[in-house]
Amino acid sequence: MKKTITLSTEPHEAEIGPHRLFFQPEMYGDEFLDAYSQLQDVQKTFSGGDVESMSTDQLRTLYSQMRRFLSRLMTEESAAEFLRFVVRDAAGTVLSVHTELEKAEAEAARLDGAGVADESMRLPDRVLVELLEWVVEVYGGGNRPTGSSNVSAPASSRGGTGGKGRLPSRASTRAVGVSAP
């Protein structure tokens, strides 16, 4: 008896408006779980994980960690587009570019008169949450990692206007979210 198991070799792709982000084809379970665990630890630090009771600063930290988590799963090129911290001198000349804010700040502190500009990809919070949920499905094999997550956005609106026409068949379903080939 022979069992053949294939490994994904093509990156996963998320198309978000004009942006295309590519994620690593395969992720070792421990790498994924370590990254996911860090995100959950940050979330639990604030208000026991209750997003609605978080302060603005706490939410910024949480969303920053969500972005960091996502970038860890991306290909190097997509991560560099998604998280981009630019170190410039006083004249505005680019000295270096980083995907981690801490490294950019350390570089700027080392250079006299240098500063850091966040030129990361801007996406609405609901898109970050959808992307987060999608990568958990992709790398979690359709199953969420153990532990609950309260980092959920409300469902996207259905769009259009309500009417008095007949309802569609109950057998039809509506697809929502980011899709990958």
Residue 107 lies in a domain: yes
Task: Please check whether residues 75 and 92 belong to one and the same domain.
Answer: no
Q: What is the pLDDT of residues 95-148, one digit of tens each?
A: 999 999 999 999 999 999 999 999 999 999 899 989 988 988 888 765 544 443
Greater confidence (40 vs 3) lies with 3
Residue 94's domain spans which residues? 84-119
Checking if the pLDDT of 161 tops 60, the result is no
- Based on the fold, state whether residues 26 and 15 are members of the same structural domain: yes
Q: Are residues 21 and 78 in the same domain?
A: yes
Judgement on whether residues 45 and 90 belong to the same structural domain of the protein: no
Give residue 169's pLDDT. Answer: 38
> In terms of domains, do 31 and 115 share one?
no
Statement to judge: residues 48 and 73 lie in one domain = yes
Any domain includes 70: yes
- Indicate if 28 and 107 belong to the same structural domain: no
Domain assignment present for 30: yes
Is 114 a domain residue?
Answer: yes
The total number of structural domains that make up the chain: 2
Q: What is the mean pLDDT of residues 8-22?
A: 94
Structural domain includes residue 103: yes
pTM reported for the whole predicted model: 0.68
**Same domain as 52, residue 13:** yes
69, 140: one domain: yes
Top pLDDT among 75 and 152 is at 75
- Same domain as 46, residue 72: yes
| Rounded CA separation 51/143 (Å) | 22
Q: Are strands 85-88 and 19-23 parallel, antiparallel or unpaired?
A: unpaired
User: In the prediction, which pLDDT does 170 show?
Assistant: 37
Do 15 and 75 share a domain, yes or no? yes
Query: Do 60 and 144 sit in the same domain of this protein?
Result: yes
Give pLDDT tens digits for 29-81: 677 788 878 777 777 766 565 667 778 888 888 888 889 989 999 999 999 99
